[in-house]
Structure 1
Amino acid sequence: MVSKERISKKRTASFKGEVSKKVKVQKAESPSVSSAEEPDLSSQVDSDEASSEDELDVSSDEETQDKNVESASDADSSEDELDDSSADAAAEESSRSSDNDSENEDTESVSADPNKLSTKEQHLQQKKLLNERKLQRKAGIEVHQIKKLWEKLRVKNPPLPKEERTALCDQVWDLSKNVIKDLVLKHDASRVVQTLVKYSDRPRRDNIVKQLKGSYFKLATSAYGKYLLIKLLHYGSKESRALILKELHGKLRKLMGHREGAYVVEDLFVLYATAKQRQEMIREFWGAEYAVFQDLGAGKTVVEVAAENTEKRKQIAQNLMETITAAVEKGSAGFQLLHAVMKEYIQIFEGEEVREMIALLTEPFAELVHTPEGYEVACTLIAKANAKERKQILKTLKGHATELINNEYGNIVLIVLFMTVDDTVLVSKVFSSEYQVRVHELVVAKFSRRPFIYLLNGLDSHYFSPIVKTELLKYEALSAETSKKSQELRREQILSGFAPIFFDAVIKHPFEILEESLGSQFVGELLLNPIESDKREDALNTVIESFKGPVSDDHLIRKPFSGRFLRSLIQGGRWNNKEKRIDKVDNVGLGETFALTFVDEVFTDDRILQQWVNSEGSFAVVALYEALKPLTKEEETAKAFVKSLKACKFDEEVKGAKLLKSLLK
């Protein structure tokens, strides 16, 4: 038993020595630790010692048995253990004292090391090395000097005086004119050249363009160089742009597939190329032979070239489709140049190629409708699509309904949908819900009102120019193979779905609509349309309510178009200029019925009538007189109105008042 106790104590003493060594190393690594902290370390050692002894006791079955025997032993053996423990504590204290001496020696040696640098000093040394390496690069010294000047040149607030800016430009040019190529592909130096291009005169810009000759493809595909190339296109001369385009010719298909180059080609096509240059750029996408030989196919359309040979049509179509597919898959479906390529393709595609094109563009369909080439592609695909494909296109466009109708070209696409889709219930459901809360805003805008005018009045020449009308009729003809309903039936069915939201807009937002010329035209077309609705009477009453009250400066009748609007409602139809007569609309609450209600509710006071007679409302009063004069023997309201009118004083400088006076005589 005694031998086992001594074995346990030897193990404990060995563990203490290891812990002391660890503490010693920690102190050497952390010289800032003071001697006042030593008791804490000792307590940690004791704690570790206790835990270690427990582990040793638990790990051995024999030692566990010995401890059970010890608990039953006499006091003598307990005293022996205490004596041994005291001896161990004394040894530990002696060891700790020697460790402290060693620690002090280690701390002094670290502090005395002259090669040890602080973190700040290391960063400064690294920065110095980096600057030295930059200076050792090609044109490194020039770049360093140029950047110092550029920091002054690029200041915008306050703007530099012209003389000072010119002087700085001259200094920068003197340093950089021989190293332009070395500067343009560096992210910081490229910005220097961009500033130089912006503020320099034409000869200097032309000089830069010539120096960079042979590097334009590399610039177009560079993350930093592309910005300089765009600056050269923006500020450069006509000759400079032609030189850049000539160098890029033959590489446009490759650039369209490049992440950086695609944006350069797009800007070149949309902003800087002439009509002839655009056609040359598009022709390059027909195939490799047209890219190499620039004059090949010049003066001919893709339809004419494709008609020359069946194999040639097939090859051109394949090349165009490959370009379109690659660009769409890379997310470039919104580029106008790509839309121009698509426009070439839809002129010659046929059979199964049509289905493949529609399937490819169904998901990014909304990205087509904002360009003049893209909307033609979209309209053609809608016209040639079958019922299932049109349904998918409608679902794609639903989330873009507002942008679609507000766009200069998108509103035409929406009209084509109204003209070609046989599922009129789906069309009404998709778009009426999207437009319901903003109809009063849409009907007063130049482009967004046109689809609604089409629903109300068809392709009326008053609202659709001959060019637009011809274009829309072309798509109607293309849809003849896949659309079954008649045009008029389709339009009436869609209108029945939209009519409730149209009348709601007039009832809830009369002033927002009627105070605009386009809005009053829309309300006129709505009320003159014979479509049945239980909200028609409420809309008519709202219109009358809007014209009540004294004629103040902001009264609706002060608007120059309000008189024409009221005359059409009072007359009960539209003026037919060809036959010089009014085409009246029956059973819609207009004409004499509207005139009687209007006089009864608006002219509640003779003073208000007097104001109308001698203001912008005079011609509306003339229309009321002409409509009600035949009813004076039957209607008391008409008789009282004519009597009050004769008692008015007429200002002959007002044309309507002068005409009214002559009619009353």
Structure 2
Amino acid sequence: MAYTETAVKRKEGPEVHTEQPKKSKIESRKEQKNTRLERKAHDRSFDMITEAKKVWEQLRRGDIKREEQKQLMEKMMSIIQGRVQDVIFKHDASRIIQTCLKKGNGEQRNQITEELKGKYETLAKSMYGKFIVLKALEYCHWQRDSILSEFRTHVRKMIRHKEASAVIEGFYAQFSTAAQRNELLAEFYGPEMTLFNHGGASKSLEALLETMPEKKEPVLKYMYDVLKGCLDKGTLVHSIVHKPLLQFLTLADAKSRDELMSLLRDNLQDMVHTREGARVAMLCLSYSTPKDKKTIIKAFKPFLSKIAQDEYGYLVLLRLVDVTDDTVLVSKAVVDELCKHAKELFADKFGRRFFLYILTGRNTRYLSSETVQQLIAGDEISTSKKDLKVKASELLNACSPSLIKMVKNDAAVLMREKLSSQVVQEIMLHAVGDKSEAIDAILELAGENIEKENHVMEHRFANRIIKAMVKADSSETENDKAVEPLEFAPKLLEVIRPNLTHFATNFGSFVVLALAEEPSTAKEVKNVLKKSKKDIKQAADDKNVGAEKLLALL
């Protein structure tokens, strides 16, 4: 019977489906919105969050008056008090709590943080909750020890967690005291050290090992395991990892150190932005083989400009120059890449130091004494076989043509910028090779119409370069003497002779004074200026120091 019915149905043909009319986009969105609201309405906190959001929309504005803010905070607290934990993991409600911690008074902040107790570790692992913890750390300093107590023994796992690592890093880098930092770092040293380092007894690793030298080997083994896990999880950018890395590389034996460095080499660019991270990178470069250095340079290449402009990163590039025997590789892969961003780097406080290092070496005019000592200390552990002076000479020879060409092409801009002008001066004094075209470019600027605004002869930065070039051949100090004769003074005098008196009585007086003191031009300059002695005296009376000194020479 069943078979017969089926056969009949087949004869009747397929079942006909009537098509539903297609909804418009507006109708579809409206339906989706209603569905979302229905779903949210099942949440027991829905009404409370809805009411709180209305107040929050006004509270978060930056243009409300203090009294209005106070009233809104009181209204908000009456809504959320006692129910903070119900909403902290929701995206929209999380922002409400953050604003309350930012805008509330001490008592209100305390009420919120008290309700959050016991939830800080879980919050730190939440995509939205982590921002509440960071706000609590920022605005409720009296709660930091309490928050730290909830993190205790969990830091090792949290630093490897995508969300929680940002909280641990923020606590360590921005909000912690020295004792709190030591307590956070102790989690890298092992459970026993964590217990020993609890509370007011917090000590550095060096102090801990001084009191318990027998623990050095197990501590280093534990550190290796933790740090290796951090590298696997991509948390190398965090400064809290850099300190134990530096401690490990300093204290470990050669075998353990090499094992960890082999894992670091491809990622050193992620850590050069901190003091300890830069020192770790410098140690890795010092101990590495020529093959390893090529790997590091390859990893650095896309980030060279950024590293050069970093407060600590540029030191890593100086160490790279010192320890790499293959100066051709450094010239092509590092210097040529940085030369592409020369204008930007020359004008940067730190970026310019790489070029100045190539030109002047360990000169305390541009590097602090501490930095020079740090570089000298690194020489003692370097695996480099080539003499430092030979490398410096080879690199200078390789890079000078590019640097000189920059001056030739962009002298007008570079000479007038404060920091860039210092680099231009050192290029003209200490670069090697044919500088005739660069000199011609500077002379062309010096010969421009004196009515031109910011004329290089009278510009406060540009005329320092010109003055230094005038005196470069006869200077007695190594820093100010040109490595190769420039013969610039006679050429400059020939160009500016028609306007010599003008410059002598205005802002170019110190350049003219340098020409009057330079043996190759002194006699001619004095003869010309004697005819304008009256004008020079007037300028001297008007407190022009250069004119005063010129007058004394005439």
- 1:180 equivalent in structure 2: 84
Task: Give the equivalent residue in structure 2 for 1:21.
Answer: 12
Q: Is the 8 A contact 2:297 2:334 kept in 1?
A: no
Q: 2:126 aligns with which of 222, 225, 228?
A: 222
TM-score (norm 1): 0.74
Q: Which segments of 5 or more consecutive residues in structure 1 lack a partner in the other structure?
A: 1-15, 34-117, 633-637
How far apart are 1:306 and its partner, in Å? 4.2
Deviation at 1:519, TM superposition (A): 2.5
The two structures have a TM-score, normalised by structure 2, of 0.88
**Contact map agreement 1:432 1:497 (CA 8 A) in 2:** no
AA matched with 2:518: A
Separation in 1, partners of 2:474, 2:320:
28
User: How far is the alpha carbon of 1:131 from its aligned partner?
Assistant: 5.0
Is 1:171 aligned to 2:61, yes or no? no
Q: Give the distance between the partners of 2:492 and 2:466, measured in 1 at CA.
A: 10
1:472 counterpart residue number: 375
Rounded Cα–Cα distance in structure 1 between residues aligned with 2:119 and 2:222: 27
Q: Does 1:556 align with 2:456?
A: yes
Cα distance, 1:260–1:647 mapped onto 2, change above 3 Å: same
1:74-119 alpha-carbon deviations (Å, 9 max, x no partner): xxxxxxxxxxxxxxxxxxxxxxxxxxxxxxxxxxxxxxxxxxxx99
Q: Deviations over 1:635-656 (max 9, x none)?
A: xxx3xx4432211221222221
2:229 paired residue among 326, 336, 358: 326
Q: Distance in 2 between matches of 1:124 and 1:411?
A: 53
124 and 495 in structure 1: CA distance in 2 versus 1, 3 angstrom threshold: closer
Which of 266, 273, 281 is residue 363 of structure 1 equivalent to? Answer: 266
Partner of 1:527: 428
Residues 559 and 123 of structure 1, relative CA distance in 2, 3 Å threshold: closer
Contact 2:429–2:482 (CA under 8 A) maintained in structure 1 = no
The 8 Å contact of residues 302 and 348 in structure 1, kept in 2 or not, is answered as no
Q: Distance in 2 between matches of 1:569 and 1:343?
A: 44
| 2:4 counterpart residue number | none
Aligned length: 538
Q: What is the rounded CA distance, in whole Å, between the counterparts of 1:567 and 1:617 in structure 2?
A: 9
Please give the per-residue CA displacement for 1:264-283, whole angstroms capped at 9, x wherever unaligned.
Answer: 10111111112332122112
The answer to whether residue 527 in structure 2 is matched with residue 627 in structure 1 is no
Please name the residue that 1:595 is paired with: 489
- Give the one of 492, 502, 527 matched to 1:611: 502
| Map of 1:247 onto structure 2 | 150
Distance of aligned partners of 1:21 and 1:412 in 2 relative to their CA distance in 1, 3 Å threshold: same
State the shift of 1:499 in Å.
0.7
Q: Structure 1 residues 587, 125: closer, same or farther in 2, change over 3 A?
A: closer
**Deviations 1:121-173 (Å, cap 9, x if unpaired)?**
99799667535522xx3x555344334433443456xx444434332321221
Contact in 1 for aligned 2:84/2:116 (Cα 8 Å): yes
Q: 1:478 to 1:296 in 2, by over 3 A?
A: farther
- Deviation string 1:363-383 (CA, Å, 9 cap, x unpaired) is 111101111121011011111
Q: Does 1:447 align with 2:346?
A: no
- Tell me if structure 2 keeps the 8 A contact 1:307–1:313: no
Tell me which amino acid in the other structure corresponds to 1:503. Answer: I
Q: 1:344 is matched with which residue?
A: 247
* 1:6-63 CA-partner distances (Å, limit 9, x unpaired): xxxxxxxxxx99788348x53xx54999xxxxxxxxxxxxxxxxxxxxxxxxxxxxxx
Asked if the contact 1:197/1:231 (under 8 Å) is kept, the reply is: yes
CA contact (8 A) 2:490 2:521 kept: no
Deviation at 1:575, TM superposition (A): 5.6
Within a 5 Å distance, the mapping from 1:537-548 to structure 2 comes to 537-548=436-447
Contact kept in structure 2, 1:285 and 1:341, CA below 8 Å: yes
SS at match of 2:51: helix
- Aligned partners of 2:305 and 2:345 also within 8 Å: no
Equivalent position to 1:376, from 279, 282, 296: 279
Cα distance, 1:262 vs. partner? 0.7
SS, match of residue 364 in structure 1: helix
RMSD of Structure 2 on Structure 1 (CA): 3.1
Structure 1 residues 30, 518: closer, same or farther in 2, change over 3 A? closer
| 1:505 to partner: Cα distance | 0.5
> 3-state SS of the aligned residue for 2:457?
helix
Gaps of 5+ in 2: 1-6, 22-26
Aligned pairs for 1:286-305 (under 5 A) are: 286-295=189-198, 298=201, 301-303=204-206, 305=208
1:472-526 deviation digits (Å, cap 9, x = unpaired): 11112221xx111111111111111111111010000001211123323222222
* Amino acid in the other structure paired with 1:420: V
Cα distance between partner residues in 1 of 2:107 and 2:18: 68
Q: Calculate percent identity across the aligned residue pairs.
A: 27
**Conserved 8 A contact 2:183-2:197:** yes
> Alpha carbons of 1:202 and 1:396: their partners in 2 closer, same or farther (altered >3 Å)?
same
Deviation at 1:417, TM superposition (A): 0.7
Amino acid aligned to 1:624: L
Distance change >3 Å, CA 392–CA 310, structure 1 → 2: farther
Are residues 526 and 402 of structure 1, via their aligned partners in 2, closer, same or farther at CA, if it must alter by over 3 Å? same
- 1:421 has 2:319 as partner: no
Greater gyration radius: 1
Query: What is the rounded CA distance, in whole Å, between the counterparts of 1:313 and 1:217 in structure 2?
Result: 30
User: Residues 360 and 127 from structure 1, CA distance in 2 versus in 1: closer, same or farther, beyond 3 angstroms?
Assistant: closer
SS in 1 for 2:340: helix
User: Following the alignment from structure 2 to structure 1, what is the Cα–Cα distance between the partners of residues 516 and 38?
Assistant: 96
